[in-house]
Amino acid sequence: MRRAFPISLALALAVSVPAQAEQNLGAQAAGTLDELGTSMKEKGAVAFRERRFGDALDAFQLSYAAKANPALLYNIGMTLRSLDRWPDALAYFKRFKKDAPSELRAKVPDLDGLLAEVESHIGNLDVTVNVKGATVIVNDRIVGQTPFEKPIQVKAGPNKIDVVAENHAGYKRMLNIQGGSTATLDITLLLKSRAALLVVKSNVAGSEVFIDGKSAGTPPLEVQVEVGSHRLRIEKRGLKRVETTTVVAVGDRKEVTLNPLDDRPIYERWYFWAGVGVVAAATVVTIHALTTERDGDSGGLGQTTAPLISF
């Protein structure tokens, strides 16, 4: 005769067996994630020492995803700092300061000084666009869509800025932003049916181009403009500005070359005196060579040695 099995015990076993299996799987998964985290952390450290910062960043981020060790926040921040991605580095250093226990933070000397140093390499971009939902791209990375509630943090120095929107001609500009300052861009995107491309070039480095009285940046540059007539001006400190007018039609790609003029007398220009200096120096060397006796025993050229730069 088959023995009766208590229903309550059967139910308990039915529940406990899947639960135990789930715990076992969870333990195995946790072990696998720990191993992955450790492996990626070590690979990231090697890549960082070898200055393969892109590989180091990938490894450290994967390690943190597998095992959220706060120390990795600092490592990721240092890697982003080496990649010149200062705003992202600052965000990770701030997370490290917030999440890391005090004994771990103590391993980083002058953390506040590090934060201040990183902040000095960050500027702000306050951008407005006439088209809602336009995508703003800074240094080939999408930062969001318009409108923005606050200025965008960017690295100090030259920044490549692109703005795109459906059915509109794109906007491009290289903009130099000082650390700790805020640059403002008020961008008007034109419908493709009303736009033309104006390309401005110059042989004078550091010049600034103005289109219809508004700064467009330093050449070479490409600007989408509305069809019709436009006033162009180029200037550079110490040189005479040059102005011209150009007309563009729908779909045009028009190139214009503008150079500020150096209208100073020839004797006030640096290259005149540089040429005089070269001639004078060559004369002195020639005279010295003719009036200096050669050491008859050496008969050869001298040798100069200097230590190599170690890094």
| pLDDT for the residue 33 | 83
pLDDT mean over 295-306: 36
| pLDDT for the residue 93 | 95
Q: Residue 190 pLDDT more than 70?
A: yes
CATH architecture for segment(s) 194-282: Sandwich (2.60)
| pLDDT for the residue 30 | 57
Question: How confident is the prediction for the chain on average, in pLDDT?
Answer: 82
Q: Where in the chain is the domain with CATH 1.25.40.10?
A: 17-119
Asked whether the whole model's pTM tops 0.85, one would answer no
The full 3-state SS of the chain, as one line of letters, equals: CCCCCCHHHHHHHHHHHHHHHHHHHHHHHHHHHHHHHHHHHHHHHHHHHCCCHHHHHHHHHHHHHHCCCHHHHHHHHHHHHHCCCHHHHHHHHHHHHHHCCHHHHCCCCCHHHHHHHHHCCEEEEEEEECCCCCEEEECCEEEEECCCCCCEEEECEEEEEEEECCCECCEEEEEEECCCCEEEEEECCCEHHHEEEEEEECCCCCCEEEECCEEEECCCEEEEEECEEEEEEEECCCCECEEEEEEECCCCEEEEECCCECCCCHHHCHHHHHHHHHHHHHHHHHHHHHHCCCCCCCCCCCCCCCCCCCC
| pLDDT for the residue 22 | 53
- Among 77-81, 127-131, 193-197, 271-275, name the one with the lowest average pLDDT: 271-275
| pLDDT for the residue 34 | 87
Percent of the chain with pLDDT over 90: 69
- Among 55-59, 70-74, 97-101, 275-279, name the one with the lowest average pLDDT: 275-279
| pLDDT for the residue 304 | 29
CATH architecture for segment(s) 122-189: Sandwich (2.60)
Q: Where in the chain is the domain with CATH 2.60.40.1120?
A: 194-282
| pLDDT for the residue 28 | 54
Residues 157-182: pLDDT tens digits?
999 999 999 999 999 999 999 999 99
Q: Residue 200 pLDDT more than 80?
A: yes
pLDDT mean over 215-231: 93
| pLDDT for the residue 109 | 87
Q: Residue 223 pLDDT more than 70?
A: yes
Task: State which CATH number among 3.90.25.10, 1.25.40.10, 2.60.40.1120, 3.40.605.10 fits the domain covering 17-119.
Answer: 1.25.40.10
| pLDDT for the residue 11 | 40
| pLDDT for the residue 263 | 72
pLDDT mean over 226-237: 94
Residues 266-297: pLDDT tens digits?
555 555 555 555 555 555 554 444 444 444 44
